[in-house]
A and B are shown apart, each in its own frame.
Chain A
Amino acid sequence: MAFAATLETSGNIAAITLSGELDANSAGEFRARVEEAAATSPEKLVLMMQDLTFMASAGLRVLIFAKQKMGSDVDLFIVAPQDPVRETMEMTGFHHSVIMLDEYDAAEIEG
């Protein structure tokens, strides 16, 4: 399934919905959405991952880029990652630096 990344911003929240396969070929598109999100100076970046079926290290590097571009005080939420994607983030220690949620939790994210 082809990769897609769409950005929606609302108030101080930027949300990017990811779908399909995120590999080294498609990571540039994800990075472009992150740059667009960063330009709005959000306080929170939310990545909706329920339809993301594959993520290679190129995707992880975009997460590092996002955190370094936006600053450490911007919270990074990962919503509904599929099990193997979650496992990759756990193997590489990314779960320590992001807030992982099983579903979109308005109280947690917007509160």
Chain B
Amino acid sequence: MEPLILPGTLDSLTQIGAYVLEVASQAGLERKTAYRLRLAVDEIATNSIVYGYARVGEEGDLVVSAEIGDGILTIILEDTGPAYDPFQTPSPDDLDQPLDDRDIGGLGVFLAIKGVDEFRYEWFNETNRNIFVMKINDQEDS
């Protein structure tokens, strides 16, 4: 599929979601697996928009591309905002606490990294590159 290039604003999230679900369907991913992949991409794209472009007052694009091959579907999400490595976001340590005592941070990155089979981050050429990998033949219903 052709890469998708959209402005780095929250209005773009719907189209990013539709793109990921379309690619997941082409790859034959099971519905729940496709949902988790879409959620992962949505969460990281949201961070790129909110903590990247919006925080520093920059405008820029989000580029989403997909590759299917060797039994895996790979989605690549790129932005040219400030360097942001999701692995540097601490995992929430209060998931067993009542909501009254919860901190609101870190949930999105947690869901993204937990939700896919493999997640990688690269900073290359002044670009954040987030790589999401799902195994295509993994029909485990978990």
Interface residue ranges, A against B (CB under 8 Å) = 21, 23-25, 54, 56-58, 60-61, 63-65, 67-68, 72, 76, 83-84, 87-88, 91-94, 96-98
Contact = CB atoms under 8 A, between A and B. Distances in A.
A57 B107 contact: yes
Nearest to A98: B99
A67 B35 CA distance: 26
* Nearest 4 Cβ contacts at the A-B interface: A93-B95, A25-B10, A57-B108, A67-B99
Nearest to A2: B14
A21 B98 CA distance: 25
Contacts of B110: 92
Interface stretch (B38-46, B63-71, B120-128): B38-46
Interface size class of B (residues with CB under 8 A): 20 to 34
B13 A91 contact: no
Given A57-B43, A96-B96, 10 more contacts: A21-B14, A24-B50, A25-B14, A54-B17, A54-B35, A54-B42, A61-B104, A64-B104, A67-B100, A97-B100
A56 B99 contact: no
Contacts of A96: 96, 98
Contacts, number: 78
Looking at chain B's contact residues, the main secondary structure is helix
B32 A24 contact: no
Contacts of B76: none
B114 interface: yes
B32 A56 contact: no
A87 B110 CA distance: 14
Contact of A25 (B11, B97, B100, B104): B11
11 contacts: A23-B46, A24-B10, A24-B42, A25-B10, A54-B38, A60-B107, A67-B99, A76-B99, A83-B32, A91-B114, A94-B99
